[in-house]
Amino acid sequence: MLFGVIGDPVAHSLSPVMHNRAFAETGYNGIYVAMNVKNIRGAVTGIRALGVRGASITIPHKIEIMKYLDEIDEMALRIGAVNTVLNRGGFLKGFNSDWIGAMNALKEKTSIAGKKILIIGAGGAARAIGFGINSEGGKLTIANRTHKRGEKLAADLGGEFIPVAEYRKPQWEIMINTTSVGMAPNTEAMPVKATWFEKNMVIMDIVYNPLNTRLLIEAGKKGCTTIDGVSMFVNQGARQFELWTGQKAPLDVMARIVRGALQKHRRSAID
């Protein structure tokens, strides 16, 4: 069975390493490749014609692909983005595993229901995670640099909005960075000041390169529980694997191979 990640660019993606290792571990007859695609409509035709069993959809195609699918899962419709496609005999159904990945990563370290949760950012990842938080009964606040996007997302999610520039005394139990701030090569950057942290908060960063962002380092110094971006990435990939194969994903193996690949990349960059 053929699977792949579709996006532009995709050369950096760790999805092939992760999913191919999962196929090998479970004995599933599958191969997963990276497909650099600019024309998503043509790619969907190709998925049907070639019998591609499943695909991961990444930037910039998560929204546009929805126009060309036969069915879309209810949660993906609410989020307004698809990152997973399942092909059943030419019938293509779209799902969103990002929100499940984020919720599972959080629940490995903390409960969500009733917690005051701050999401930093107002892009697609923030939207997916926000819907997930709502489904788990969390109380949302959106923090964003630009008012218009932040206010719109907060309204859509039924939460509050604060501009990042307007510091308040920390009042959240969980904080999630959904922006790219702190991603390599700008590893010294942080989306908020360290004064936003208080002991016993849970701080999650969806950035996974570097593994330990400055945000997580500073949060750890304040005594916070930290969750790195690999946790969400692997958990969303596990959901994809299970949708495609009907088998339980080897989560620990997938996490180990991704962390190993990131460590190897880091050493190569240093050398």
Gap between the Cα atoms of 169 and 156, Å rounded: 25
Q: Is 148 among the catalytic positions?
A: no
pLDDT interval class at 185 (50, 70, 90): confident
Same domain, 11 and 82: yes
Is residue 271's pLDDT more than 60?
A: no
Q: What is the model's pTM?
A: 0.91
- Residue-range definition of the domain harbouring residue 89: 2-96+233-270
Tokens, residue 217: 């380092």
Q: Tell me: pLDDT of 184 over 90.
A: no
Average pLDDT of span 56-61: 94
pLDDT classification of 170: cutoffs 50, 70, 90: confident
Q: Please say if the pLDDT value at position 3 is more than 50.
A: yes
Same domain, 213 and 109: yes
Q: Cα 131 from chain centroid?
A: 13
Q: Are residues 74 and 43 in the same domain?
A: yes
Residue 155 tokens read as 């309204």
Give me the mean pLDDT over the 196-222 stretch: 94
Task: Over range 152-164, report the average pLDDT.
Answer: 94
* CA–CA dist 118, 62 (Å, integer): 24
- Asked whether the beta carbons of 193 and 167 are under 8 A apart, the reply is yes
168 and 79 inside one domain = no
At residue 266, the pLDDT reads 64
pLDDT at 259 over 70: yes
Kindly give, in sequence order, each residue whose CB lies less than 8 Å from that of residue 53, ignoring residues fewer than 6 positions away: 1, 2, 3, 30, 86, 87, 244
Give me the CATH number covering residue 79: 3.40.50.10860
State how many domains the chain has.
Answer: 2
CA 270 to chain CA mean position, Å = 27
Q: Are residues 53 and 124 in the same domain?
A: no
Residues 142 and 199 reside in one and the same domain = yes
- Is residue 136 a contact partner of residue 113, using CB atoms and an 8 Å limit? yes
Q: In CATH, what number is assigned to the domain containing residue 159?
A: 3.40.50.720
Indicate if 122 and 185 belong to the same structural domain. Answer: yes
The residue-averaged pLDDT of 54-71 equals: 96
Q: Flag the least confident range among 66-75, 121-130, 162-171.
A: 162-171
Which band of pLDDT confidence, cut at 50, 70 and 90, is reported for residue 264?
confident
241 and 207 assigned to the same domain: no
Residues 88 and 108 in one domain: no
Share the mean pLDDT of the chain: 94
What is the CB neighbour count within 10 angstroms for residue 259?
A: 16
Interatomic CA distance for residues 56 and 30, integer angstroms: 14
Strand order from edge to edge, sheet including 91-95: 31-36, 2-7, 54-57, 84-88, 91-95, 71-72
**82 and 145 fall within a common domain:** no
User: Where does the pLDDT of residue 263 fall: very low under 50, low under 70, confident under 90, or very high at 90 and above?
Assistant: confident
Q: How confident is the model at residue 56 (pLDDT cuts 50, 70, 90)?
A: very high
AA identity, residue 105: A
* 62-76, 163-177, 221-235, 246-260: segment of lowest average pLDDT: 163-177
**What distance lies between CA 201 and its chain's CA centroid?**
21
Q: Are residues 38 and 71 in the same domain?
A: yes
Question: What's the average model confidence in pLDDT over 123-139?
Answer: 95
Catalytic residue among 62, 169, 222, 264: 62
**Span 77-108, pLDDT tens digits:** 999 999 999 999 999 999 999 999 999 999 99
DSSP string over 23-41: HHHHT---EEEEEE-S-HH
Same domain, yes or no: 149 and 91: no
